Amino acid sequence: MLPLWAKVEGGGKPVGFLEELKGLLGDRVLTKEAEIAPYESDALTAYRKRPLAVVLPERKEEVVAVVRLCHRHGVPFVARGSGTSLSGGSLPVEGGIVIALNRLNRILRLDPKARIAVVEPGVVNLEVSRQAAPFGLLYAPDPSSQPVSTIGGNVAFNSGGAHCLKYGMTANHVLGLEVVTPTGEVVRLGGEGLEGVGPDLHGFFVGTEGLLGVAVEITLRLLPRPEAYHTLLAAYDSLEKAGEAVSRVIRAGLLPGAMEIMDRLAIEAAEKAVRAGYPEAEALLIVELEGPKEEVAAEAEVLHRVIQESGAYEVRLAQSEAERQAIWKGRKAAFSAVGRLSPDYLVQDGVVPRSRLGEALREIQRLSQVYGLRVANVFHAGDGNLHPLVLYDGKRPGELERAEELAGEILRLCVRLGGSLTGEHGIGVEKKAYMPEMFAPEDLMAMERVKAALDPKGQANRGKVLPEEVHA
C-alpha cells in the first residue's frame, strides 16, 4: 500500500513558481549548478539529489512566505541547517526546494533568571552554551557536531550527545516552539515553563525530522553549570570488557554525566587527527562524573573501585581542565577522524539495552569478519546508543552495497536485542526500509495518517522516514 502522501500528484517545475520565489527573496534564491551543488547531500554523502532551487531566508516571515508559496504550487521543500545529518535527513527532493536556515542565527532572548534561551533555528548548538556561560549556565545536549550543527536540526532529529545519559535528549530541553506547518499556518507549541497544560505538542514535534513543518523559533531550557567534574579514562584489552564495565558502573548505583566507548580503530583515528594522548588499547571507556563537589568526590571513590574490578589495565584521571578537554577532544573528533582510515564510511546509530551491550559488540565484530569490512565503534555506552562506522571504498565495485548490507544487519541486530533503529541520527532515507522491522503495519499506518492530516500534499521533507509501501 502506497503512503497517503504519495497519492497526491505534484512536483516538477511549476509555471511561475521560481519567478514568485525570486520576488520574495531576490538574489537569495540560488538556482545555478555551482550554487546549489553544496546542498545536494548532507553528511551522508552516498545519497545525492539536485533541488530545483535553494533559498536563504533571513527572517521567519520569509520562511512563512516561502512555505505558503510551496503549498500553493504543490512544490516539496526540505528545511536544512548545517547539513550534518548522517541519515540523509536533509537530502533534497528533485523538483523541490531547500530552505537553508543558517541565516536565522540570532539568540533572541537569554533570560538567566528564568533559565531559558529563545533562539532561531540556525543558531549553532555550542553558541548557546557560550552565551549562557557568563551566567553560570549551559545548554546540555552536546552532539559531537555541536560546534557546527544547528538547534533547528537538533530539534528535527532529537539529538543527544555524550551527556544525554544524565541530562536526556533535545526533547528534554525544548520548552516551546513556533512552527510553520506544511500548509503555511504558524502555530505555537508549548511555552516557557516545565509544566504545561494539555497534550505535549512541542515534545511530539521534536524528532519528527521535518515531516510536520519548520521550527522558526525555539525556547530552550538552560541548566546550571556543574560545580565539579571527575573525568576518568580506562583502557581494556577487549571491547567486550569495556561494554560490561558500563553495566557494572550502573549496577553500582552511579549515574555519570557521560560514559563513552571507543574501539581500537576509533582510537587510532583520533590519535592521528588530534593527538589526544590516548593509551594503546582494544577499547577505551570514558566516564565523567559531574555535580556538587562533595557528591562527585563520594561517587569517585565508588567509580574507581568498580573500574579496577572491571579488568581495566590502565586508568587515567584528568588532573586539570586542559586534560579533561584533551580526553573529550579525541572522542568528539572520532567520527570525522575515521576519514583518515578509509576513503568512505557509513555511520550507524542503533540502540541496544545496556544489559546486552557486550553481546551486541561481539556480534558486530563477527559480522565485520563475515562481510570482510572493518567496523570502528564509537558510542554512547551509558544508554546503549551504538555508532558503528562501516569502512569501505566506494571506488571498488560492490563495496558500497556490501557496506550497506552490513549496516542493515547491525540495525536488525539492535531491534532483535530489544533496541531501536536510531538513538539520535534519525531515520532519514537511509533507514526507512527497516521501519517494518521495528513497527507493525498498524503503527506505520498511524504515522502515515498523522503525516497526511498535517501535510495533505506530502510536501515537507517528502520521501523521508516512512517506507515507500506499507503492507497491512
Q: What is the pLDDT of residue 15?
A: 57
DSSP state of 427: -
Any idea of the CA torsion for 113, 116, 118, 119, to the nearest 10 degrees?
120
50, 92 Cβ separation under 8 angstroms: yes
Q: Which three cell numbers stand for residue 118?
A: 529563545
Q: What is the pLDDT of residue 358?
A: 83
pLDDT tens series, the chain, 472 aa: 444 433 343 444 555 899 999 999 999 999 999 999 999 999 888 889 999 999 999 999 999 999 999 999 999 999 999 999 989 999 999 999 999 999 999 999 999 999 999 999 999 999 999 999 999 999 999 998 999 999 999 999 999 988 888 999 999 999 999 999 999 999 999 999 887 778 899 999 999 999 999 999 999 999 999 999 999 999 999 988 998 899 899 999 999 999 999 999 999 988 888 888 899 999 999 999 999 999 999 999 999 999 999 999 999 999 999 999 999 988 888 878 888 888 888 888 999 998 888 889 889 999 999 999 999 998 888 888 999 999 999 899 999 999 999 999 999 999 999 999 998 899 999 999 999 999 999 999 999 999 999 999 999 999 999 998 655 4
Which amino acid makes up residue 308? Answer: Q
Mapping DSSP onto H, E and C, the string for 65-122 reads HHHHHHHHHCCCEEEECCCCCCCCCCCCCCCCEEEECCCCCCEEEEECCCCEEEECCC
Alpha helix stretches (DSSP H) within 310-434: 321-332, 334-337, 357-371, 399-416
Distance of alpha carbon 92 from alpha carbon 82, whole angstroms: 14
Q: What Rg value do the Cα atoms of the chain yield, rounded?
A: 22
Cα–Cα nearest to 43, from 337, 345, 327: 345
Q: What is the pLDDT of residue 144?
A: 86
Distance of alpha carbon 282 from alpha carbon 269, whole angstroms: 13
3-state secondary structure of 247: helix
What pLDDT, in 10s, does the model give residues 237-266? 998 899 889 989 999 999 999 999 999 999
Q: What is the pLDDT of residue 1?
A: 42
Q: Which three cell numbers stand for residue 247?
A: 553495566
Which amino acid makes up residue 411? Answer: L
Q: What is the pLDDT of residue 44?
A: 86
What pLDDT, in 10s, does the model give residues 112-121? 999 999 999 9
Query: If you count DSSP H runs as helices and E runs as strands, how many of each does the chain have, helices first?
Result: 16, 18
Q: What is the pLDDT of residue 340?
A: 86
Which amino acid makes up residue 145? Answer: S
Distance of alpha carbon 292 from alpha carbon 275, whole angstroms: 31
Which amino acid makes up residue 340? Answer: R
Q: What is the pLDDT of residue 470?
A: 59
